[in-house]
Amino acid sequence: MRTTMYLACAPILFASSVTAYANAFDVAIEIPALNVAEYHRPYVALWIEDERHQVVSNLAVWYDGKMRNNEGEKWLKDMRQWWRRSGRTLTMPVDGVSGATKAPGQYELQFVAGQHPLTNLAAGNYRLQIEAAREVGGRELLSIPFTWPASRPTTLTVNGEHELGRIALTLKPE
Amino acid sequence: MLSKKMMKPLLLGTMLIATSVVDAHRAWVVPQETVLSGQNRWVSFDAAVSNDIFLANYNPGRFSALAVHAPDGTVLDVQNMHVGKYRTVFDVALEQEGTYRIFTASSGLRATWETEEGERRMWPGRGQQYTPEGFAEHVPEKAKNRQVTHALRRMETFVTLGAPTTAVLKPTGQGLELNPITHPNDLFAGEEAQFQFLMDGKPAVGVEVSIIREGTRYRNSQEEITLASDKKGLVSITWNGAGRYFLEAEYKDHKAKKPATVRTGGYVAVFEVLPD
C-alpha cells in the first residue's frame, strides 16, 4: 500500500512522474453500519485470485490480533473461502497485509504492482475477492472480475447485501 | 494430558460398534466443527446409535475404543468422555496443526450353518470371543449352508486445525476403507467430491454407498444419495447442500482368507460440507 501523492507539477514533470509508476489500482471498501443488538466489527479479507482460484496476492486481512493467546485467530476460518484458498497456510500476522478490524465506514486502499503486498501480475484475467464474516452475524463473499493490465482507467463495482457495502476497484494503468 | 501410545491392535472378535447396527440403527460420531483456525483448539464430539441422523434418541453406543490419529501419526486418546442415556460426548485436543482421524476399527469371524435337522447354528454366540481353538471345536468342517464370515468394520471422522494434511488418511490395508481423492475436510456444497473405496487395500468394486445429510427430522424425505463404486472403486458425490453428512458403505465378496468363506466390509464416516 502507498499513500496517495498529489501531483501539482508542470506538465512535463507530470508525464515523467506518471511513467515512474507501475500499474496500480485502488480498492474502496464500505463496511456498513448495522442496526443489530450485538455488533462486532467484521473480519475482512481481500485478495486476488486467478481463474483457477489460485491466490495471486493477499492484499488485506482485518482481524482481531490483539486478543490474549491469539484467540482472535479462532474466527479466521469463518472467512471460509479466504481460509481455504490461502489463510490456512499463512502464519498470522502477515506483515503489510494483516491489520485490526475496522469500524463501519469507507476505506480506501491503494496497491502498486510489484510493491508489497501486490505481486507483479502477469497479463490475464483475475478476480478481486473480498470476504467478510462477523461474530453473531453473517458472512458475505464478493467478487470483481477484471483483466490485467487495463487498457484505460476503469472502475468496477459490486454491492454487498449484508456484511459489505459498495466495493469499487479502480484500475490505473501506467 | 494427552497420552501417546502405540495404536491399539485390532481385536478379533470384538464388535466395537454397538451390535444394534444390524437392527438398522446407525452408529455415528459427529464433530461439532471440522475446520478450525488458531492454536490449541478443542473439538467437542457427539456419538450415539439412533435412526435419525444425528438425533441422539435411542442409545449412547459403546465408544470406549475410539482412538485419535494426530497429524504426526501419534495416537491420542479422546478426553472427557461422558455417557448419557442416549448420547456419548467427548473432546479431542488439537495441539498440532493438520488433519486428525477419530476412529474405531474392528474385525470378527462368525460361522453359521444348519444341522441335518435343519436347525440354524452360529458360532461364536453373542458375548463369546473367536479363538482358533474354539472354531475348530465348535464349527463343523462340512455342514448345510455353512458360511464363515470375516466382518471388518470401520467408523471414522476427521477434523483439521490449520491447513489439511494427508498423513492420517493413508489406508491401513485392512477392511473397507475410504481413500479420499478430495480431502475430507475440504468439502464444499457446490463442488463434487471424489472418494475411492478399498477392501483390504485393493480397489473395491460395487461398494454400496448411502449418504444422508443431517436434519432429516426437519424434512419429509431422507434425501438419501445412493451410489455404487465403479471398477476403480471410485464414487463421485454431488452434495445436497451444506451440512454434516452420514456416509455408510457396505461391501461383500468371497475372497476371504481361510477359514472364512465370505468377507464383508462396513464403513461409516461423518463429513462436514461447507457453504461455498
> Which DSSP state fits A9?
S
Probe site for chain B from A43, A71, A76, A77 (most B CB atoms < 10 A)? A77
pLDDT of residue B173: 96
Report the largest interatomic distance among the alpha carbons of chain B, rounded to a whole angstrom.
67
pLDDT class for B12, splitting at 50, 70, 90? very low
Cell readout for B122 is 452360529
- Residues on chain B touching A80 (C-beta within 8 angstroms): 35, 274-275
Asked if pLDDT for residue B24 goes beyond 80, the answer is no
Burial A84-114 (b: 16+ CB within 10 A, else e): bbbbbebebeeeebbeebeeeeeeeebbbbe
Mutation target to probe the B interface, by most B beta carbons within 10 A, among A80, A81, A88, A127 is A88
Instruction: Output the pLDDT for position B126.
Output: 83
pLDDT of res. A160: 97
Percent of chain A with pLDDT over 90: 80
Task: For each of the domains in chain A, give its residue range(s) and CATH number, in order of start.
Answer: 11-172 (2.60.40)
The 10s digit of each residue's pLDDT in B199-240 is: 999 999 999 999 999 999 999 999 999 999 999 999 999 999
pLDDT at B13 over 60: no
pLDDT for the residue numbered A137: 94
pLDDT value of residue B8: 41
Would you place residue B71 in the very low, low, confident or very high pLDDT band (cuts 50, 70, 90)? Answer: very high
Q: Report the mean per-residue pLDDT for chain B.
A: 91
Please answer yes or no on whether B37 and A89 come within 8 Å at the CB atom: no
Supply the pLDDT for residue A69. Answer: 87
- The number of beta carbons lying within 10 Å of the beta carbon of residue A1 is 17
Which region among A78-92, B4-18, B83-97, B163-177 has the lowest average model confidence (pLDDT)? B4-18
pLDDT of residue B25: 85
Q: Which domains does chain B have, with CATH numbers?
A: 19-107+150-273 (2.60.40.3880)
The residue whose grid cell reads 461409516 is B268
Please, are residues B43 and B94 in contact by the beta-carbon 8 Å criterion? yes
| Res A119: pLDDT | 86
Is residue B55 within 8 Å of residue B94, measured between CB atoms? Answer: no
Beta bridge partners of A169: A27, A156
CB contact (8 A) between residue A73 and residue B39: yes
- What pLDDT is stored for residue B128 in this prediction? 86
Contact list in A for residue B41 (CB cut-off 8 A) is 74
Q: What is the DSSP string of B24-87?
A: T-EEEEEES-SEE-SSSEEEEEEEEEESSTT---SB----TT-EEE-TTS-EE--EEEEE-SS-
Least confident of A39-53, B7-21, B67-81, B86-100: B7-21
Residue in B36, B39, B188 nearest the CB of A77:
B36
Residue B38 has its nearest CB partner, among A74, A80, A84, at: A74
Q: Distance (Å, rounded) from C-alpha B263 to C-alpha B265?
A: 7
pLDDT of B46 > 80? The answer is: yes
Task: Choose among A36, A55, A47: nearest CA to A138.
Answer: A36
pLDDT at A21: 52
Average pLDDT estimate for A48-77 = 94
Residue B100 is predicted with a pLDDT of 98
Predicted confidence (pLDDT) per residue in B126-167, tens digit: 888 888 899 999 999 999 999 999 999 999 999 999 999 999
pLDDT at B23: 52
In this model, does residue A114 exceed pLDDT 80? yes
Region A112-124: what's the mean pLDDT?
91
Q: How many CB atoms lie within 10 A of CB B178?
A: 24
Q: Residue A6: what pLDDT?
A: 41
What residues in chain A have their Cβ under 8 A from chain B's Cβ atoms? 69-71, 73-77, 80-81, 83-84, 87-89
**DSSP label at A67?**
S
**Do you find a cis peptide bond into A117, omega within 30 degrees of 0?**
yes
Cβ distance A80 to B274 less than 8 Å, yes or no, reads: yes
- Tell which of B37, B273, B276 to mutate to test the A interface (max A CBs under 10 Å): B37
